[in-house]
Structure 1
Amino acid sequence: MATHPVQVDHELIEAAAHVARTRCGGDTHTMAAAGRARDGRIVTAVNVFHFTGGPCAELVLLGTAAAQGAGELDTVVAVGDRGRGVVPPCGRCRQVLLDLVPTVRVIVGSGDRVRTVPITDLLPESYVWSEHQDQF
């Protein structure tokens, strides 16, 4: 079920784009993410690519926000290096965001189609791990 559109946080996109331009490069860091905390702070992070796997920028962002005491994030966005612009979260990140911050909004799309959607719109009819924790 789609919800009413939410204003796109262009400052958040620019924060992630700035990190992608200035901190990403080579094969290790190719994506940047930014999140707006409920208190208004912007937190940024980059992915850590390694052939054995590695955390996406959105997952590093969750850890960085926790380490900085930012608490839960209201909105997140990922931006690719080399001017790739906004990149939607992968399936793993969608599930982790839904499980850990089920009220988070995600900026997706490109150009004049950039929009902000609830994480639930990116994973309709999904299993929500946090709703079943008591059963384990």
Structure 2
Amino acid sequence: MTTTMLLDTDRALVQAATAVAKLRCRSANHTVAAAARTADGRVFTGVDLLHPTGGPCAEIVVLGTAATQGVGKLEAIVAVGDRGRGVVPPCGRCRQVLLDYHPGIRVIVGPLDALRKLPVADLLPERDTWADQRLDASAIVRTGQWPMPTVPTSRPASED
């Protein structure tokens, strides 16, 4: 695990997320705010959108917001809970999405008196690579068939 000390810009990122949490997380629909920073210092913020059908976490909202501004790479992100809950680590889904879209991003985690910045890959016990899980669309076009999964213990029906 590679931990780096927080810089003043990291502390400012925590403050930005905290300010958004205080200002915008005032209902059961919004309970977490996040802030992310680019290498050139631009900061993007967002809040989660809780809904009975699910909804995006604040980190995912921030990724979308940054993407709408043409950002290709984020260097750091932090999420802060409402009502003074402090920094909250990203959920498993967010960890995987962060790794897939910004593999070099560092995530600020920990209690306020001992914050640290970690590579997102260090937050995942078993890495899953999104690119390895995608279907080969060209194979579908060439053959006209969806690929069938290979099951090691299966045998042809003719052997029954």
Q: TM-score, normalised by structure 1?
A: 0.91
Structure with greater proportional strand content: 1
1:13-55 residue CA offsets vs partner (Å, 9 max, x unmatched): 0000000000111111111000001221011001100011000
Which residues of structure 2 form unaligned runs of 5+? 137-160
Q: Which residue of 2 aligns with 1:121?
A: 122
Q: Which residue of 1 aligns with 2:109?
A: 108
Q: CA deviation at 1:124?
A: 3.6
Cα distance in 1, alignment partners of residues 48 and 12 from structure 2: 20
The offset of 1:134, in angstroms, is 7.2
**Structure 1 gap ranges (5+):** none
3-state SS of paired residue (2:15) = helix
Structure 1 runs (4+) greater than 6 angstroms displaced: none
Cα shift at 1:72: 1.6
* Change in 2 beyond 3 A, CA 1:23/1:6: same
Q: CA RMSD in A?
A: 1.5
Deviation at 1:4, TM superposition (A): 4.8
Alpha-carbon distance in structure 2 between the residues aligned to 1:115 and 1:63: 25
Higher relative contact order (CA 8 A, sep 6+): 1
Q: State how many pairs are aligned.
A: 134
Structure 2 distance, partners of 1:52, 1:134, is 25
One-letter code of the match for 1:46? V
Structure 2 counterpart SS, 1:73: coil
Note if 1:40 corresponds to 2:41. yes
1:12-31 matched pairs, under 5 angstroms:
12-31=13-32
TM-score, scaled to structure 2: 0.78
Change in 2 beyond 3 A, CA 1:48/1:4 = closer
Q: Can you list the C-alpha shifts for 1:93-131, whole angstroms capped at 9, x where unaligned?
A: 00111111111000000132210000011014311213x
Percentage of pairs with the same residue: 57
